[in-house]
Structure 1
Amino acid sequence: MKFSLAIFLFLLCADTAAFSMGDAINIAGRQRMLSQRITQAYILRGIQPGTERHQQIFERCMREFAHNLDQLADFEEAAPIQSDLQAVQREWKTFEAIAHQPVSKLTATELFRRSNSLLPAAHAYVMRLQGLADHSSAELVNVSGRQRMLSQRIAKNYVAHFWEVAGDEGGKRLYEDLAEFQLMLEFLLQSPLNTPEITRNLLKTQGYLSYASRGFDGEMQISGERQIHVITGTTDMLLRNMDVITGQYAELLNSVQLATR
């Protein structure tokens, strides 16, 4: 038991030592995505209450958001912008309290609204981290990380519109986010810092986006319940691919910073 604990503590310390600015921007960027994914899962629990997967995703993402906040609070390089992280922590406290309430259309409407307050606070912190990093590759980590968020905000707005807990806002923002995702995908594809592997992954993401757009445009003649499955499944593929790409950009930033020390 003592040996196992020693190994665990060693690995924990090694992980803390390896935490860098690229990692911080990546993790802080995940908070934007998680705010939207949690809300999506919460609404899906109301639409499809018998589906265990929605509950599992909800609980996992809630734990990750809290864990990420703890990690970011311990990141010494970001000490000058601690007040920005505290703003995220305050928004999270309110959001978390609503998210732990039983699912209803009333609470889903309130969580939808609070997700649109938590998101900009999380985004402001990412932007401050990007400024601290002061390198062009930091922007790529930020933008690709924002694509993860957009994939989940697209799905969140779709299910919120479907369950009628977003008013007119859900449908309107959905198409705005689709347009932004495409625009930023083209921006990333044009980066001279891209490796061949990053470019391949970006092109793969472009294919997923094209498929998802068919569902939103009503080209797939399927039932509403099936449409939810197709759209959330496709946006999850967008998320997974952009998560890999964001990690690749974070590694680029880390390597640049190591080379300049």
Structure 2
Amino acid sequence: MTCSNPTVVPWSRQRRRLVQWVTAGVVLPTWAATVQAQMALSAAINVSGSFRAMSQRMAKAYCQQQLGVMPDAALEVLTKARKQAQVGAADLAKGSTAGAWPAELSRQLEEVQKQYSILNTLTAVAPSKASAVAVAEQADRMMVAAQTATEALEKLARAPSAKLVGLAGRQRMLSQRMAKHYFLMAAGVEPKASQTQMNADAAEFKQALQALAAAPVSTAAIRTELDLGQAQWLFFETAMRRNPDAQGMSAVATTSERLLEVTDRLTSLYDAALREVLG
């Protein structure tokens, strides 16, 4: 999930914005010596963080298939996630090959790939209730590995605003994990535990929306996307409250994908904003 190059703005505007962001604690005084490294880290946080969402999205789509909920669309989601993982792995491998990451971080990124490989194999099997449970559990292992790697990348970043990229990216994962647990409840898999996780994720999602809205890093595009995210969240939240019948499950499937699209764009916008101030 990479972003396009930000629009070039006059140096005078960049300088004024830089002063504002430094005052807000967005970058440290030593930024000039580490601009390229910080920009690379911002992109890596975005990509590493996307593996969190991919893990839950794949499990969600697999559960959809098991339940017979929009199976063709679910298969398309799985295919897209696999392609996305291949691209993301290649992007992160460039940093490891170039020796840009510490040895421990490289090991953590390799662990993400290992857990993805297992998940990819599991989702290739025809879905059943037992295999859906196995996929959901493996998705969580992959998500934990990706979270660990993403947090390690955030610690390397000298710009505190890089954490916003990770925070926005985590919203992608939460949207998919809530949908996954909705489908697990529909399948009769530990409904109480799934409901508890959904409630916790919903609370975290809403809190993160507030934190992003209050963050000093903001552009017109970010504010617009935050408004869209809030609106789409309401649609998704309403869908999750429905009984898991055919209509309810279809509503969750579609609104979770729309919420993912918004949070993905928002993550890329934070990445682009950070690159602009650094570049």
Q: Could you say which TM-score interval applies, normalised by the shorter chain?
A: 0.7 to 0.9
- Equivalent residue, structure 2, for 1:231: 252
* Greater mean alpha carbon deviation, residues 202-211 or residues 170-179: 202-211
- Equivalent residue, structure 2, for 1:61: 81
Matches within 5 A, 1:1-261: 20-48=40-68, 51-75=71-95, 76=98, 78-80=100-102, 81-218=105-242, 224-258=245-279
* Greater mean alpha carbon deviation, residues 199-208 or residues 102-111: 199-208
The alpha carbon displacement at 1:210 in A equals 1.9
How large is the RMSD of aligned CA atoms in angstroms? 1.9
Q: Is the 8 A contact 1:148 1:243 kept in 2?
A: yes
* Greater mean alpha carbon deviation, residues 73-82 or residues 235-244: 73-82
Letter in 1 for 2:43: D
Letter in 1 for 2:266: I
Distance 2:218 2:41 in 1: 19
Contiguous gaps of at least 5 residues in structure 1? 1-18
Q: Is the 8 A contact 1:78 1:129 kept in 2?
A: no
Distance 2:257 2:80 in 1: 15
Instruction: Tell me which stretches of 4 or more aligned residues in structure 1 moved more than 6 Å.
Output: none
The alpha carbon displacement at 1:87 in A equals 1.7
Contiguous gaps of at least 5 residues in structure 2? 1-38
Distance 1:185 1:179 in 2: 10
Distance 1:50 1:33 in 2: 20
The change in CA–CA distance for 1:249 and 1:84 in structure 2 (over 3 A counts) is: same
The alpha carbon displacement at 1:130 in A equals 1.2
Distance 1:223 1:70 in 2: 38
Distance 1:55 1:62 in 2: 11
Cα displacement string for residues 220-240 of structure 1 (whole angstroms, at most 9, x for unaligned residues): xx7711111112222222111
Structure with more contact order per residue of length (Cα contacts < 8 Å, sep ≥ 6): 2
Distance 1:214 1:183 in 2: 18
- Aligned pairs, how many? 237
Cα displacement string for residues 209-260 of structure 1 (whole angstroms, at most 9, x for unaligned residues): 1222223334xxx7711111112222222111111111110012222333xx
Distance 1:78 1:160 in 2: 40
Letter in 2 for 1:216: M
* Greater mean alpha carbon deviation, residues 46-55 or residues 110-119: 46-55
Letter in 2 for 1:70: A
Distance 1:161 1:254 in 2: 41
Distance 1:205 1:77 in 2: 37
- Equivalent residue, structure 2, for 1:5: none
1:102 aligns to what SS in structure 2? coil
The alpha carbon displacement at 1:168 in A equals 3.1
2:125 aligns to what SS in structure 1? coil
Q: Is the 8 A contact 2:69 2:250 kept in 1?
A: no
Distance 1:50 1:91 in 2: 27
Distance 2:110 2:259 in 1: 30
Normalising to structure 1: TM-score of the pair?
0.84
2:217 aligns to what SS in structure 1? coil
Letter in 2 for 1:35: S
